[in-house]
Structure 1
Amino acid sequence: MSKTVNGLVAACLGVSGAPLFGQTIADTAGSTRVETPATPVGASTAPIEDIVVTARRREEKIQAVPVSVTAVNSGVLERLRIDQPDKLQNIVPNLASTPLASTVGGAITFIRGVGTSELLLSVDSPIATYVDGVYLGRNVSANLGVIAPERAEVLRGPQGTLFGRNTTGGAISLATPRPKEHFALEVKGGIGSFRERYGQFRVDSGELGSTGLSAIVAFQHRQTNGIIDNPLTSGRDDPGAVNSDAVFAKIHGEWGGLRVDYSYDYANIHGAPGAFQISYASQAFRDYYGKSPSLGGAALVIDPERHGTLAFRPLPRQVVKSWGHALTAELDLSDALMVKSITAYRDYDATQPNAYAPSNLRGVTTGGVAEVGPFQSNAGTIRKQNQFSQEVQLLGTFDHLNFVIGGFYFEEDAEEVAPTSFTFLIPPGRTIGMPLASATNYAVKARSHAIFGQVSYHPPFADDRLELTAGGRYTRDRKSIAQTKPTGRSDQRSYDNFSYNVSLAYKLRPETLLFGRIGTGYRSGGFNARAGAGVDFVFAPEKVTSYELGLKSDWLGGIVRTNLAAFYTDYNDLQVTQYTGTGTGGGTGFTRNADATLKGFELETTVAPTRNLRIDGSVGYVKARFNRIFFPDPVTGELRNFAAISHFPYVPAWTAHGAIQYTFSPFDNGIEPSIRLDYSWRSRRWFHTNNLANLNPFNDRIAGAAYGLLGASVVLADIPIGGSKAQLTFFAENLLDADYRVQGIDFGSLGFAGNVYGTPRRLGADLKLAF
């Protein structure tokens, strides 16, 4: 899946953006076109664009959908260089997403406080990612890196009725473009800090004769050095370095009432993971590794402050390859009925070595003075996954009734081989180290069947101002695992669930929608592939009930928009991952079920007082509280409820974003300049659930402090070059060069913990030519 997304993203970056103002309308396949509303001569304002979304599996204007959804069109995505889903967190309230620092091409995503940082292929994610309706099964493959979607939708809260599977927390839905109506060639390239450079092209065939067929072919190459200097390697192998190639192709056919889209994507990414910096350590750990220079070895840096230069063991670059096919067909059975089929196959293959410290560290071991290491995966984790999915929908649109019914099938085969090595300091003195090794090797299979339906009814007596919606979904999942390490075992489980959604919406006036919603969701149970002795191997399904009240409104003739949603969410058997480092198992951990409640709100506002000026702002708040979560007591070892001192990892209580954009009048030669400033802020967040001495004692110290990011861009559009147009963009990201933590790992009883820091200030320029 990851491959598919990576390829899609890479190939589509050349898509030209839709106008910032005007009405953006999506067709049923997910592409968009822009219709600018007529404005009286001399008018100084323009209505805010109304993006059409498919949040309920049909085209609807976002302001008319009784769902908490944020939609971003291609123009904003391109302007802000949002070429991968994790960057959406900078503009979407209550979305927390970050690249997986230990892997190239993965993402950790949380919506309204719920998500997972777990990489195990035996654990599903509660946040689903879709590309053109195709479900991506793994978070290790959900960071596209190279796609510029035509539209991105972030749906908050459980999506248990209409979307794929495992969407207890929310969903991110991306739509790629259809071919343009006429032949077009677009070339784009750019440079940036850290020796970043990229080039891409996109060719649209237009209609091929009178066949009804048209096509897109796109390619991108991108490379950048790392953001941390590793003196033991070249810049192309520094932490954060990437070298990638991606291809995307789509063929669209249209013959009367039949529309068919076939797409193919391929991505080949070579890179180095983010720099894990050891921030804190026990005194015994400091004393042990502090002797390395006197024993003829290298020094180990232990410092909570971000370093621009840091030594890491030289290892081969990580390699991630992904590819996929998707076939979408729509057939109009009548003016009121349409049948739609989405068929997809995806494949993902990754080799991911990882170093957490420099080479040539020396220490006293049980076999004398030898090279030692706190923790590392020199050979590299190998992950492979392939999936097939099939969805069929019947959609009906009548005067007062809309409905969708359908079926969904998903199958997945995945395997992981994860060898690690580490040094355990032997108590009581902890002056002697014991070099150890461990591995987590297993293969899993999953099969999921579902039938679903949803009906929306507009009673005639209410003049279409009232809408009643009800939907349900029955799901049956089957899973199996065969494992050889850390112990030999196998298991097979089946799970059943019925989820429902009920909403009531009423238009207080044509531009104001008040709605209430009750929805449920479900995430299947699974297997704890890292589990050792005394830890449950199987965990139960997760279930959620969410209550939501929202208001969507436009004011002053469409120049002010305010959307507000408040929610209360009740989780039963919430799947919580806890990572621990142990003396006999190295990197281990477990997934345990807990009960929790989350409540909060999102407020999004847009003001467009003139055609030239636009101001955006949003704020999100989530109060996440465990009611029940059991961990072993540090003293007695007995399981106790530690809800009062536990945190939701990776989740800030507050998120906020503000932006202002001004477009100047065109120069005499037609060039149109514009400037934009963006500022995003999020409050403190933890990276583990608690700081119990027997689990993650450094959790409070490695927590990420509140931080803000300022970005800026200057665009010169419609630059005349011969008979074509060019666009030149200058950009700055993290303009104030803030140091902020994006990930933290506490290795528990191994005696140390550390962080991965975000990207420092980046400056660059892009040039796009359209022929």
Structure 2
Amino acid sequence: SGTDSWNRSWGQTLSLNIGHSLGDDLNLRSITAYNDFHDRIQQDTDFLPANLSMIARDLRLRTLSQELRLEGQWGLADWLAGVYADSSENDLRNVSQRGPFVQELRLDQSSRTLAAFSHWNLHLTPDWTLSLGGRVERYRVGIDPRGDANQSRSWSSFSPKVALQYAFAEQNQVYLSASKGVRNGGFNVLSAATHYAAFEPEKVWSYELGIKGRTLEERLRYSLAAYYMDVTDMQVMQMPSPGVQYITSAASATSKGLDLDAEYLLSARWSVQTGLAWNRTRFDSFQDGRARYDGHHNPFAPDLTGYLGLRYDDPEGWYVQGNLVGSDKVYLDAANQYTRNGYALVNLSAGVRYEQWELSGYVNNLADREYDAVGYQNGFITVYSPPRELGVRVTWKL
């Protein structure tokens, strides 16, 4: 390779969470957060000794958010209501080289969010609970690219939720829910050739039927859920060649599946955990400049994933855990031409806790299995799977 490839990033998060009781089961909570993230990357994209193609990117993102939330009880209902606002500034510099041609892109992006929300749990009987909620949001984003015209877009959305749950036994319940979610739109900040074309918000209606709880003298914790999701204006990342990527929002898709999670206490010290997820996500309609992909698998969405774990917790504060995690193959593009094979990995960890401190060591991918993504970015790139990793973690909890 004629260009060194590297990625350096740093970030910091500061948050302040304050609660105050106003009396009569009424509580006020304020959550303030500031995030500062800086990411620098340089990547060789021709994989040849000559320096023919590369990208370099310098990104800094700063976000300040504020939430005020009021919580209380009223008759047979417990409720919360609040407002939320955030402000983000994004500074981007991107350099791409293709042969003798070098393109530099600089732009500033800013966004503002204002939202109001509320959620109510209505206890109809000791066993039946009806939950109602909603969020109204106004989102605005603007870009100021060097050498091009400023642009801005605004969207408003309403995201409702309704759920009904029935407690058929102590600590056991079945539930049915329906909700709408929205992923905000934006601009293709890395696509100067399209004048930073905007993409629309993605909308999804989700429906879920599930059962969860504890049984067998509380030794077994379980959850089982079936879901169906209807996605419109789906945001699809397109990567036709190395260093070129953009988002389109002209797709619709359907996702349905089953999720199972369980944990069983074998004894006071031993426990086993397991999970299995089946998911079928397909494009209902999607077309780019080359072909239609109706009925194709969505990229990066495996049909089957699972895990199995065994853990020992000692009364003196130390523990040992082993996990087997696996995934079915995934497709890397909308045409379903390129794939990453399925895999099964063994991960091990052990540690000790003392008051607010925890010291642990881990081994990920013990057998050093390879599951490379061959054909990433429209067949140009192979992304190698992470090799065996050994590490030590030190954690201090305030």
Aligned to 2:109: 444
Distance in 1, matches of 2:266 and 2:32, equals 45
- For the pair 1:613 / 2:270, whether they are aligned, the reply is yes
Alignment partner of 2:89 out of 403, 413, 416: 413
Alignment partner of 1:707 out of 325, 329, 343: 343
Comparing both structures, which one devotes a greater share of its residues to helix?
Answer: 1
Alignment partner of 1:478 out of 119, 123, 140: 140
- Residue 625 of structure 1, CA deviation: 1.1
Q: CA 1:663 to 1:324, structure 2 compared with 1: closer, same or farther past 3 Å?
A: closer
Counterparts of 1:380-459 in structure 2, within 5 Å, are: 380-398=56-74, 400-423=76-99, 435-459=100-124
Q: CA 1:733 to 1:405, structure 2 compared with 1: closer, same or farther past 3 Å?
A: same
- Residue 649 of structure 1, CA deviation: 2.0
Counterparts of 1:543-582 in structure 2, within 5 Å, are: 543-581=203-241
Alignment partner of 2:54 out of 337, 355, 376: 376
Aligned to 2:304: 654
Distance in 1, matches of 2:396 and 2:34, equals 34
Distance in 2, matches of 1:685 and 1:660, equals 27
Aligned to 2:388: 761
Residue segments in structure 2 that go unaligned for 5+ positions in a row: none
Q: CA 1:383 to 1:662, structure 2 compared with 1: closer, same or farther past 3 Å?
A: closer
Aligned to 2:335: 690
Q: CA 1:764 to 1:518, structure 2 compared with 1: closer, same or farther past 3 Å?
A: closer
**Structure possessing the higher relative contact order (Cα contacts under 8 Å, 6 or more residues apart):** 1
Counterparts of 1:229-240 in structure 2, within 5 Å, are: none
Aligned to 2:12: 323
Counterparts of 1:628-667 in structure 2, within 5 Å, are: 628-633=285-290, 641-644=292-295, 646-663=296-313
- For the pair 1:468 / 2:130, whether they are aligned, the reply is yes
Distance in 2, matches of 1:348 and 1:726, equals 27
Distance in 1, matches of 2:110 and 2:393, equals 44
Q: 1:535, 1:590 within 8 Å by CA — same for their partners in 2? A: no
Query: 3-state SS of the aligned residue for 1:489?
Result: coil
Distance in 2, matches of 1:655 and 1:543, equals 25
Q: Which moved more, 1:614-623 or 1:671-680?
A: 671-680
- Residue 474 of structure 1, CA deviation: 0.9
Aligned to 1:345: 34
Comparing both structures, which one devotes a greater share of its residues to strand?
Answer: 2
Q: CA 1:620 to 1:440, structure 2 compared with 1: closer, same or farther past 3 Å?
A: farther
Distance in 1, matches of 2:396 and 2:118, equals 45
Query: 3-state SS of the aligned residue for 1:553?
Result: strand
Query: 3-state SS of the aligned residue for 1:411?
Result: strand
Query: 3-state SS of the aligned residue for 2:217?
Result: helix
Distance in 1, matches of 2:45 and 2:348, equals 34
Distance in 2, matches of 1:726 and 1:567, equals 39
Q: 1:389, 1:409 within 8 Å by CA — same for their partners in 2? A: yes
Q: 2:293, 2:334 within 8 Å by CA — same for their partners in 1? A: no
Aligned to 2:163: 503
- Residue 606 of structure 1, CA deviation: 0.9
- Residue 619 of structure 1, CA deviation: 0.5
- Residue 552 of structure 1, CA deviation: 0.5
- Residue 763 of structure 1, CA deviation: 3.9
RMSD: 3.0
- Residue 542 of structure 1, CA deviation: 1.3
Counterparts of 1:107-506 in structure 2, within 5 Å, are: 313-314=3-4, 318-356=7-45, 360-361=49-50, 372-373=51-52, 375-377=53-55, 380-398=56-74, 400-423=76-99, 435-459=100-124, 462=125, 464-484=126-146, 488-506=148-166
Deviations 1:73-113 (A, max 9, x none): xxxxxxxxxxxxxxxxxxxxxxxxxxxxxxxxxxxxxxxxx
- Residue 604 of structure 1, CA deviation: 0.4
Query: 3-state SS of the aligned residue for 2:330?
Result: coil
Q: 2:222, 2:262 within 8 Å by CA — same for their partners in 1? A: yes
- Residue 318 of structure 1, CA deviation: 4.1
Aligned to 1:601: 258
Between the two proteins, what is the percent identity of the paired residues? 24
